[in-house]
Amino acid sequence: MQGYALTMHKIPVGVLGASGYAGRELCALVARHPALSLGFAAANERRGECLRIDGRALIFVAAEDAPLHQTPLVFTALPHGQSAEWVDRARGAGARVIDLSSDFRPGSARSTGVPYGLPELTRETVRGASLVANPGCYATAILLALVPAVAGGLIATDATVSVTAASGVTGAGTSPRRDLMFGEVTENFSAYALGNTHHHLAEVRSTLGAFGGDGIDLVFTPHLLPVARGILATVTLPLAVPLADPLAVWSDFYAGEPFIEVTAGAPSLRDVAHRNVARISVVAAAGVRRPTLVVVVAIDNLLKGAAGQAMQNANLVLGLDETAGLAA
């Protein structure tokens, strides 16, 4: 890859599924990237239409017409189940692929041998890979909250770990749905996928297992927020033993990470909006017999939860600085 940098040519990359929320963010990130240029933006149902990004115009092409063989790297931001075919096509054309669907994530049929791209936890497996499974947005928030405790063996083995999380509506995609219309979402809030039925749980459990957290009883309840973007997850975490300084566990675990902010104050969506960061706070609960922590993590679901993290992975795959194009 270095040849590109030496000659000052930018590396052309492509985006399949460029009209969705994550796809649009990817196009914008590529447009601002110092070492990448946008080779194509494919979106079948909007082919021929023009999208302005930072004042520049972009014409969507059909996926069939995408010059896959001319782009050393392709982002696939297609619906779950439709992505695998295009990943195969892009790889067949010689491109490396960052796949934002769940088709290759841990727990999926085709996950074997595909690195899971949550760089703060799995960086070394991503470097130079030819295909990376980009994590789900909820999974990113939950894993960043839990892994420091799991890796440290801090969680009580007989405990139930409760995770509630709330997401903005862009997490549900751009396809028109009655329940996502403004008139239904404004001034509303609801839980869904009750009883551990959300499909992100597979990649969460599999990744926790890789860090020694196989036996954790995790209960996850997602909620739909009347906001466009952002995920905030709140974890109630019973401990095996009390911790003198719980915040330090997370601070130490993420020391030096450019995209993780461990803070004393509780994070809000506003702190992370339009930024590729996760902000994490940890507090010990008062008035309980069993020592218990409350961990709160906030991310922008479209950046650290999707396109931003995909760019971290692309940088790692291409041998670039992981932070390139991702001002924190």
Using rule CB under 8 A, residue 287 touches a copy of itself: yes
Residue 283 CB neighbours (<10 A):
15
Hey, which residues between 166 and 195 contact a copy of itself (CB under 8 A)? 166, 168-170, 174-178, 180-192, 194-195
x-or-dash string of contact with a copy of itself, 87-116, rule CB under 8 A: ------------------------------
Q: How would DSSP label each residue in 203-250?
A: HHHHHHHHTT-TT-EEEEEEEE-SSSS-EEEEEEEEBSS--S-HHHHH
Q: In this structure, are residues 124 and 182 in contact, taking their beta carbons and an 8 Å threshold?
A: no
The contacts found for 241-245 with CB under 8 angstroms, 24 or more apart, are 241/154, 241/291, 242/284, 242/291, 243/154, 243/284, 243/291, 243/293
Binding-site size for a copy of itself (CB under 8 A) equals 78
Nearest to 93 by CA among 129, 132, 66: 66
Hey, which residues between 197 and 256 contact a copy of itself (CB under 8 A)? 197, 201, 205, 215, 217-219, 221, 223, 225-230, 232, 234, 236, 238
Given 137, 147, 224, 231, the catalytic residue: 137
Residue from 69, 70, 81, 160 touching a copy of itself (CB under 8 A): that is: 160
Number of residues written out for the chain: 328
Hey, which residues between 290 and 309 contact a copy of itself (CB under 8 A)? 290, 292, 294, 296, 298
The yes-or-no answer on residue 137 being catalytic is yes
Q: In this structure, are residues 142 and 204 in contact, taking their beta carbons and an 8 Å threshold?
A: yes
Which amino acid is present at 196? N
Whichever of 113 and 195 has its CB closer to a copy of itself, that residue is 195
Residue from 267, 305, 308, 325 touching a copy of itself (CB under 8 A): that is: 267
Whichever of 144 and 317 has its CB closer to a copy of itself, that residue is 144
| CB of 229 vs a copy of itself, minimal distance in Å | 8
The catalytic site residues sit at 137
